[in-house]
Structure 1
Amino acid sequence: MDNKIIQHDIRVQVESFYIPEQSDPIIGRYVFAYNVSIRNEGSTPAKLISRHWIITDANGHIQEVEGDGVVGEQPYLQPGEKFHYTSGAMLETPVGSMHGSYRLVDDDGIHFEAEIPAFTLSRPHSLH
């Protein structure tokens, strides 16, 4: 009998910012970038294989984005390792939000999800 305890603990932190030089509020184009930090705080290595984002603007319009890996990569994280990347999103409103999940697989072939906590996309001075 295998008494190995598998602990999956992937921490995701996101910081977003507005990109005014790529935005055009007159036509309803608001561009945001976000920095993501993914840290394996668990006890077993894991590979990020796909992502699922839910992007909502201030009008309630929802975009879902799914795909393999992140920024063209499928990072393999040993316990204690971090992976950072930057990506972006475009909205038709100056405020919105994003959340989602990453699908990972550990060395034993066990698939699991890591939650991406909700965060706000906001042009400066759009929120009080």
Structure 2
Amino acid sequence: MDTDKPHDIRIQVQSFFVEAQSDPEQAQYVFAYTVTIRNEGKVAARLLRRHWIINDANGQVREVHGEGVVGEQPYLRPGEGFRYTSGAMIETPVATMQGSYEWIDDTGQTFKAPIPRFTLSIPRVLH
């Protein structure tokens, strides 16, 4: 196989606090995040599964596994992208998320693309 990065999935995430759906008195903080995925590799691939690791400020770690993203399993040819928005409810005003997406390319090879760590934070908590 070509050694010049046949699999190169780029992932960027932007998060924001959803104040209207949150209830700090009940330790319920709702965050939304928009994920942009871009296939910068040399082969087309389909996103099969997601794996998230959520760490809150109380030291709780929660893992989420599932098929696809937002009910879809996007197929991306080289140069194509996919964007979606999802959300998470946590018990603290600050948390981090990271994880990976599992893919399968047109040759049947599976591989993982890491989702870089990002922060969920209510406004004015972090500098």
**Normalised TM-score (structure 2):** 0.96
1:78 and 2:57 aligned: no
**1:73-98 CA distances to partner (integer Å, 9 max, x unpaired)?**
00000000000000000110000000
CA distance in 1, matches of 2:9, 2:58: 32
- SS of equivalent to 2:25: helix
Report the Cα distance in structure 2 between the residues aligned to 1:20 and 1:67, rounded to whole angstroms: 26
Identical aligned pairs, as a percentage? 62
1:41-92 CA-to-partner distances (Å, cap 9, x unmatched) read 0000000000000011001101100010000000000000000000000110
After superposition, the C-alpha distances for 1:25-54 in whole angstroms (9 at most, x for unaligned) are 001000000000000000000000000000
1:56 aligns with 55
* Distance in 1 (alpha carbons) for counterparts of 2:54 and 2:88: 8
The aligned counterpart of 2:118 is 119
One-letter amino acid of the structure 2 residue matched with residue 98 of structure 1: M
Q: Distance between the aligned counterparts of 2:19 and 2:41, measured in 1?
A: 38
Unpaired runs of 5+ residues, structure 1, are none
Give the TM-score, by structure 1 length.
Answer: 0.96
Q: Does 1:88 align with 2:93?
A: no
Hey, what does 1:16 align to over in structure 2? 15
Letter in 2 for 1:107: D
